[in-house]
Amino acid sequence: MANIHPDEMPVEASRLNGLTSAAGRQEGQPDSFGSLRGQTAVVTGGGRGIGRAICLELARAGAHVVIGYGHNRQEAEETADACRRLGPDARIVEADVSDPVSSKRLIDEAFKIHGRLDILVNNAGITKDTLALTMKMEDFDRVLKVNLYGAFSCSQAAAKYMLRARYGRIISISSIVGLHGNAGQTNYAASKAGIIGMTKSLAKELASRSITVNAVAPGMIDTQMTEAMSGMAQSVMKAQIPAGYAGRPEDVAAAVHFLALPQAGYITGQVLGVDGGMGA
């Protein structure tokens, strides 16, 4: 194999060889596997549930976290306080991701705070479940605007900063429902399937600039959403899980952490299932 001069290495390869500073470290002193020390992450919908678990996981790895929240400021503050107790900085920014102007303001504010933007996690999402024949068009539209349009507008705004830095990680939370569908969730399934298509297309557009774009597709996870289901509905769902139990928000957060790592730079355009085998 021909020798490659360090100056001719792709950005990602040189970064992993300690020749550049992905996370503010000194040259020649790469951080240990799993570290996100000094990086900045934006997590939409980070106030509770899976979003909170992701914020804590990234903060535990050393990343500064900017938490986007829609309405519940108290939950966002509680998440930020928990992140700060782990060491890194954490801020909250109110943002309605269904509004592209608000999404851009969130991303711009995150960059203004820390002067860099390394990781974007598109986690904000809502459900408005009912059978397709009785679904109101405004409910179909609202779910797509928050779940899909929001992920796109945040990704578009973040990509502009990441392109300048020639480095970035964009991770969107999809769902097993986006892969396999689910009765009564036509709008939700459409939004989560759209995230998968968006992820694969963006990955092709941004890969040459060392920006990876991936999705995580959770199955049944114990959150406030699943707690609202009837006991019978939960039993039916759990019966379909080969592992035999529902996952935890921390399981999803661990997958996001992995995809956010500098060492995951050759993984892009992928959908990582976190579902106890439901999608097997």
Three-state SS for the chain is: CCCCCHHHCCHHHHHHCCCCCCCCCCCCCCCCCCCCCCCEEEEECCCCHHHHHHHHHHHHCCCEEEEEECCCHHHHHHHHHHHHCCCCCEEEEECCCCCHHHHHHHHHHHHHHHCCCCEEEECCCCCCCCCHHHCCHHHHHHHHHHHHHHHHHHHHHHHHHHHHHCCEEEEEECCHHHHHCCCCCHHHHHHHHHHHHHHHHHHHHHHHHCEEEEEEEECCECCHHHHCCCHHHHHHHHHCCCCCCCECHHHHHHHHHHHHCHHHCCCCCCEEEECCCCCC
Domain ranges across the chain: 34-274
Q: What pLDDT shows up at residue 233?
A: 63
What percent of the chain clears pLDDT 90, i.e. is strictly above it? 79
Read off the pLDDT of residues 146-164 as tens digits, 9 standing for 90 and up.
999 999 999 999 999 999 9
Report CA dihedral (15, 207, 102, 77) to the nearest 10 degrees: -40
Mean pLDDT calculated for residue range 104-133? 96
Average pLDDT along the chain? 89
| pLDDT of residue 21 exceeding 90 | no
Q: What was the pLDDT predicted at 10?
A: 47
Per-residue confidence (pLDDT) for residue 223, from 0 to 100:
87
Tallying the residues shown for the chain, one arrives at 280
Q: Is the pLDDT of residue 134 over 90?
A: yes
Q: Do residues 81 and 59 make contact, with C-beta atoms less than 8 angstroms apart? A: no
Q: Which residues are catalytic?
A: 188
Q: What pLDDT, on a 0 to 100 scale, did the predictor assign at position 69?
A: 97
The conformational region for residue 277 under phi > 0 = left, psi -120 to 50 = alpha, else beta, is left
Mean pLDDT along residues 262-269? 98
Report residue 30's pLDDT band, with 50, 70 and 90 as the boundaries.
Answer: low
**Which long-range contacts does 197-202 make (Cβ < 8 Å, 24+ apart)?**
198/148, 198/151, 198/152, 198/155, 198/172, 199/170, 199/172, 199/174, 199/269, 199/271, 200/269, 202/155, 202/159, 202/170
23 pLDDT more than 80? no
pTM across the whole model: 0.88
Q: Which CATH architecture has domain 34-274?
A: 3-Layer(aba) Sandwich (3.40)
Per-residue pLDDT of 42-79, as tens digits, reads: 999 999 999 999 999 999 999 999 999 999 999 999 99
Rounded Cα–Cα distance for residues 63 and 83 (Å)? 10
Label residue 22 by pLDDT band (50, 70, 90).
very low
pLDDT for 236? 73
CA-based nearest residue to 89, from 71, 108, 116: 116
> Which whole-number Å values give the CA distances from 154 to 59, 83, 271, in the listed order?
20, 22, 19
- Residue-wise pLDDT for 163-219, tens only, equals 999 999 999 999 999 999 988 999 999 999 999 999 999 999 999 999 999 999 999
